[in-house]
């Protein structure tokens, strides 16, 4: 057997293996979509593999519970969270990576310490703070929580420290560029993979967030997707068919975003994991 033939066989084996792994990983998601086409009690008669005939009824149930409003709320919260988190994290990372000032090590140590504290510990204090500010009847508390994102600040500091040469910044200053201009015209383009990585993570975390909304949101018109899905169950019955239908539709944005940003996301994770 020639060397070229062995390479072709190895490539074919790898492709078949990757296809099988993809099928295995997507099978649970496929089952979720299929369950969304069944009546709730029929799901427990056996593992459904083929589509059922109850999809329209499940869609009507999901819509009647305010799905589109919850979808809009989730999109609003997630997009705003991405903007505020990425902007503030980039500014903090830029300051810690490229400037020398008193208290820099103390601020970095504070960020590292906050990363080690579970977020659930601060929820009560955060809720009391939002209540004093009169923001519990809005979606703002779900957005502001991402303004102080220690992991985002740490990641952007690593990306900027490794991806933006000091000589490039000095050249910009010699050309008369202001510090905001250096940030937006030089730093941001150099760390696009890191920004897209952080944006993807924050969007997914915000979209799937359940604990904070269930504590802070008590008006149905402000429900996000996780709260709306939970609202499909009551004390007497859980409509699992409608729940699976709502989950299937809610997971679509995450699939689209990760599919579009997967290469950049993996590149950014690899770049942030290696200090070079």
Main-chain phi, psi angles of 61, to 5 degrees: -65, -45
Helices (H), the chain: 3-35, 55-64, 67-98, 104-115, 123-132, 140-144, 150-163, 166-174, 179-182, 188-190, 192-208, 211-216, 225-230, 240-250, 252-273
Alpha carbon distance 72, 60 (integer Å): 18
Nearest to 151 by CA among 101, 191, 182, 197: 197
Residue 264 confidence (pLDDT) = 62
Which domains, and CATH codes, for the chain? 66-231 (1.10.3720.10)
Are the C-beta atoms of residues 159 and 271 closer than 8 Å to each other?
A: yes
163: three-class secondary structure by DSSP: helix
Tell me what pLDDT residue 273 has.
46
| Sequential pLDDT tens for the chain (276 residues) | 567 777 778 888 888 998 898 888 888 888 888 988 888 888 888 788 888 888 888 888 888 888 889 999 999 999 999 999 999 999 999 999 988 888 888 999 998 888 888 877 888 888 888 888 888 888 999 999 898 888 889 989 988 988 888 888 888 888 888 888 899 888 988 888 888 888 888 998 899 888 888 888 888 889 999 888 888 876 567 788 888 888 888 888 777 777 776 666 565 555 544 444
Are 58 and 42 in contact, with CB atoms under 8 Å apart?
no
Question: 66's torsion region: left (phi>0), alpha (psi -120 to 50) or beta?
Answer: left
């Amino acid at each position: 057997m020639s060397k070229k033939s062995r390479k072709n066989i190895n490539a074919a084996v790898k492709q078949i293996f990757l296809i099988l792994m993809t099928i295995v990983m997507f099978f649970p998601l496929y089952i979720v979509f299929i369950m969304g086409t069944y009546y709730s009690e029929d799901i427990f008669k056996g593992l459904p593999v083929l589509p059922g005939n109850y999809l329209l009824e499940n869609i009507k149930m999901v819509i009647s519970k305010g799905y589109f409003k919850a979808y809009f709320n989730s999109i609003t919260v997630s997009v705003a969270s991405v903007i505020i988190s990425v902007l503030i994290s980039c500014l903090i990372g830029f300051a810690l990576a490229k400037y020398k000032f008193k208290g820099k090590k103390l601020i970095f140590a504070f960020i590292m310490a906050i990363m080690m504290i579970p977020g659930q510990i601060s929820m009560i204090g955060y809720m009391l703070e939002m209540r004093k500010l009169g923001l519990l009847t809005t979606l703002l508390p779900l957005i502001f929580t991402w303004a102080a994102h220690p992991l985002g600040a740490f990641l952007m500091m690593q990306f900027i420290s490794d991806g933006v040469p000091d000589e490039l910044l000095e050249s910009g200053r010699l050309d008369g560029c202001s510090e905001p201009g250096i940030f937006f015209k030089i730093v941001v383009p150099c760390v696009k993979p890191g920004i897209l990585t952080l944006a993807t993570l924050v969007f997914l975390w915000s979209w799937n967030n359940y604990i904070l909304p269930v504590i802070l949101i008590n008006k149905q018109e402000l429900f996000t997707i996780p709260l709306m899905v939970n609202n499909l169950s009551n004390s007497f019955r859980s409509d699992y068919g409608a729940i699976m239908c709502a989950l299937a539709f809610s997971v679509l944005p995450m699939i689209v975003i990760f599919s579009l940003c997967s290469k950049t996301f993996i590149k950014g994770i690899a770049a942030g994991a290696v200090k070079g």
